[in-house]
Amino acid sequence: MKSRWVVTLFLLALAAPLSAQPRVHVEKLADGVWAGAPDKGANVGWFVLGDGVIAVDAGADAATGEAILKAIAESTGGKPVRAVVITHAHGDHAGGARAFAAAGARIICQESIAGQLLALVLQSKGGADDPLTAKPNAKPVVEAISERSIMVDGIHDAQVFFLGAAHSKGDMVVYLVNDKILFIGDLAANGRMPFMQSPDVDPDGWERALAALSHVPVDKMVPGHGQIGPTSGLLESAAYVHAVNQLAHKFVAAGMNDELVGIQVHAPENQIKGLETSEEHVLNVKAAVRVEREKVAKKAATPAPTPATPAKK
Ligand SMILES: [Zn+2]
């Protein structure tokens, strides 16, 4: 009896640290290119550039960020992580940036979210195991890109670009030209409905961003959410965002209030083919209606330009 307890305690002691460490399911996408699906938060990616590594997104929290850094070290033979590109300032993508800063990586984002991201990185969760608390001399710096940045080493040609506000105000994608691999953040998802309820969402801008990306040859896509690899989510997400926008434009033009929108979205003529009208879909439509209403109101409030007086000769 006693020995059984000893064995049980021994197994519990073994299991405790293992369960506390977040896991990252790693997939190799090409030579020197990987993607990972952590237990918590959005998918991430990384690739070798020169003698270091560039990561895309940082996981949901510092512990996940550290687990991603461990997976990066294991897959690349311990190459240093030079930078992490944060696709946007949502916590499930950016929460782990603190661990990357502590590891000495530069933090790169779109300029409209630089302050927001720095605040997120500096926000301490406390605890002796916090990666930045452990390094009091580390002073994180966030670097911002306004529209485009290119990083080349003769093997990988990495293009980071901003296509305008879409899923949020500061979405960036990372495209590896030679490998035709696209890290798309939350602009597209595989097998899931895009999330359109961010307070800074721009549904029309999102449609334009995905239309621009439809011209880019993509063999493998790493979306923030859903399966890593397939590219089908690119067209599916574009079709969904377009359909939601059409509904939002129609509902706002008809002057519907939120209550009516909630009813009308279930009407047969407003159903999206092949899509169940879930609560999530209704919330997406309501969010798109809110933005469209604001745009219409802003347009109405802008005084029409007065015709220029012809110059006297
Ligand atoms: Zn997001």
pLDDT digits (tens, 9 = 90+) for 49-92: 999 999 999 999 999 999 999 999 999 999 999 999 999 999 99
Q: Using the mean position of ligand 1's atoms as its centre, give its distance from the Cα of residue 201 in Å.
A: 10
Cα 201 to Cα 154: distance, rounded to the nearest angstrom: 37
Residue 263's Cβ-side half-sphere holds a number of Cα atoms within 13 Å equal to 4
Mean pLDDT of 167-173: 98
What does the pLDDT read at residue 114? 97
Both tokens assigned to 103: 């590891």
Q: Using the mean position of ligand 1's atoms as its centre, give its distance from the Cα of residue 186 in Å.
A: 5
What does the pLDDT read at residue 238? 97
Q: Using the mean position of ligand 1's atoms as its centre, give its distance from the Cα of residue 147 in Å.
A: 19
Q: Using the mean position of ligand 1's atoms as its centre, give its distance from the Cα of residue 190 in Å.
A: 14
Q: Using the mean position of ligand 1's atoms as its centre, give its distance from the Cα of residue 134 in Å.
A: 29
Domains annotated on the chain, with CATH? 21-231 (3.60.15.10)
Q: Regarding predicted confidence, which is higher, 21 or 128?
A: 21
Both tokens assigned to 151: 């990083």
**Does the pLDDT at position 162 exceed 90?**
yes
**Does the pLDDT at position 12 exceed 50?**
no
**Does the pLDDT at position 233 exceed 80?**
yes
**Does the pLDDT at position 9 exceed 50?**
no
**Does the pLDDT at position 1 exceed 70?**
no
Alpha carbon dihedral 233, 66, 73, 160, in 10-degree steps, equals: 40
CA angle at residue 100 from 233 to 210, to 5 degrees? Answer: 20
What's this model's pTM, rounded to 2 decimal places?
Answer: 0.89
Q: Using the mean position of ligand 1's atoms as its centre, give its distance from the Cα of residue 19 in Å.
A: 27
Q: Using the mean position of ligand 1's atoms as its centre, give its distance from the Cα of residue 6 in Å.
A: 46
Mean pLDDT of 232-253: 97
Q: Using the mean position of ligand 1's atoms as its centre, give its distance from the Cα of residue 197 in Å.
A: 9
Q: How far from 280 is each of 111, 223, 287, CA to CA, in Å?
A: 30, 19, 11
Amino acid letter, 94: A
Q: Using the mean position of ligand 1's atoms as its centre, give its distance from the Cα of residue 90 in Å.
A: 5
Both tokens assigned to 303: 């005084």
Q: Using the mean position of ligand 1's atoms as its centre, give its distance from the Cα of residue 44 in Å.
A: 13
> Which pLDDT band holds residue 311 (cuts at 50, 70, 90)?
low
